[in-house]
Amino acid sequence: MKALNSVIAACPPSGIRRFFDIAAEMDDVISLGVGEPDFVTPWRIREAGIYALEHGYTTYTSNAGLPRLRELICADLATRYGASYGPGDECLITTGVSEGLDLALRVLLNPGDEVIVPEPCYVAYEPCVAFAGGTPVRVPTRWEDGFAIDADVVAAAITPRTKAILIGSPANPTGAVQPRAALEALVRLALEHDLYLISDEIYDRLTYTGAHTCLGTLPGARERTVLLGGFSKAHAMTGWRVGWICAPAPVAELCVRVHQYTMLCAPHVSQLAAVEALSGPDADVDAMVADYDRRRRVFVKGLREIGLDCPEPGGAFYAFPSIRSSGLDSETFADRLLHAEHVAVVPGSVFGPSGEGHVRCSYATALPQLDEALVRIDRFLQDIR
Amino acid sequence: MRRILELLERDAQLRPDTIATMLDLPVTQVSEAITAWETSGAIRRYRAVIDWDAVDADVATETVTAFIDVSVAPARGVGFDDVATRIARFDEVRSVYLVSGSQDLRCTVTGTSIRAVSDFISQKLSTIDRVRSTATHFVLKTYKRDGDAFSSPEPDHRLPVTP
């Protein structure tokens, strides 16, 4: 047999998968390993999806997606952040940010182009760059700095082949929100070196310590920014697979071109549910965000009380405590914690070398479960000391 | 401060120190506020929400609930208030509202049997002066009460570890 695609074959499977396999075998596991809301999609949105099915909206939509949904997204970005994107030629609906990221990279990259990826970062960033023919170039961030991206470190990694910088804020796995000044410094670098910026803002509504900065609204950024967003996190719609890209028309047009041949369109029913998500009352999102915030405070305080240093997570629904005091590396820590106490966390090292010494804990879990998890982690820490 | 009450309204068992952490407030401020509300009567009491249909038959006592719409002849000077207050005094009566529509008062009455509730309506409620008529609706099944759905919750469909 001839060899399969060498780039894909060389890409290691996600480090998360192994923990899933072990945790799935246990029946009393408390999972802090889940990267999605513990809320079910609000009923008004589910009801709109059911209505769409009942009335036979089971067809394709236009490639770029329902015009009404694109109008709502652009209007929402304008009201919330003052961003200006045209629903006609600067916005398209994707099957989640995952597809959006893939499209953006394929459209921006020529073979061998480098993409700077500050890490620790979402597990898909580097593989998607590689699949698109690019070369991911890791840039470390430090938990002592709250995982803020240091423009000087980024600048040092820029070469003539550098094409783009890929940023996720608020971030999975750290919960870090990039300070506005850090983003502005990246925009200056992008202008200076003629780089694109890919901004994954799927967690934009889930911020607790300050307003979200939409990268596309920073001076000079709009013309070189590909903005990725979606409904999965804020509206608890992960399984619906619906997200969007907003980008300058030439970029958006090529994204639609790839999308029309590979995906055709995002699911029609999901798009109609997303229309309800944006056109109906917003109180359910606010209530979910307030609930995450309360659990965040209780959980982070609890982690600190059992002796784990934890930087204040300003967004998303992850805490990223340091486990260095345990003397274990993050993979061993997560493995032993799972076997000894049946608590699933994700080792920080799967998100990049700078994640070593940390574990990702999702607090999108009911409060009694978080309390019990803290008791078990505390017992585990005392046993290994 | 409103948020303290909202949290307690949802879960009265939350301790003041947990509430303080959740809302980023000093514990003493939360404790003092709760005590003040308890003293002033703003917090009436704490109680459990029980789905009696879900309790084992040998433990649960049979309870029958009925909604009763009452038509009342209003009187100069008091409107419906005196009749409504008189109805509300009975222990069997769980709630009394003045409502718009073809009837005037909507009451909730509970008893140990249909017979007990019927007797109460025919002998006590209907015989109050200026009560013109009543219409009784017995509850057959409770699906949701005061914001609590009484169906069994859906299990967590999420995979244990996801990116």
pLDDT digits (tens, 9 = 90+) for A371-382: 999 999 999 999
How far is Cα A32 from Cα A360, in angstroms, rounded to an integer?
8
Q: Quick check: B163 contacting A, CB < 8 Å?
A: yes
What average pLDDT does range B85-94 have in this prediction? 95
Task: Measure B56 CA to nearest chain A CA, in Å.
Answer: 25
What is the per-residue pLDDT across A84-124, written as a single tens digit (0 to 9) for each? 999 999 999 999 999 999 999 999 999 999 999 999 999 99
CA A368, A369, A371, A375 torsion-angle sign: positive
A52 has pLDDT over 90: yes
Whether the predicted pLDDT of A153 surpasses 90: yes
Q: Is the pLDDT of residue A280 over 90?
A: no
CA distance B107 to B95: 5
Given this model, what pLDDT does residue B87 score?
96
Say whether pLDDT at B8 is over 90: yes
B23 contacts in chain A (CB < 8 Å) = 294, 297
Q: Which residues of A touch B158 (CB under 8 A)?
A: 31, 34, 36, 38
In the DSSP assignment, the letter for residue A329 is -
**Please, are residues A5 and A337 in contact by the beta-carbon 8 Å criterion?**
no
Is the Cβ–Cβ distance between A215 and A246 less than 8 Å? no
Retrieve residue A335's tokens. 């493995």
Structure tokens, A151: 């423009």
Q: Which of B4, B23, B161 is the best mutation test for A, with the most CBs of A within 10 A?
A: B161
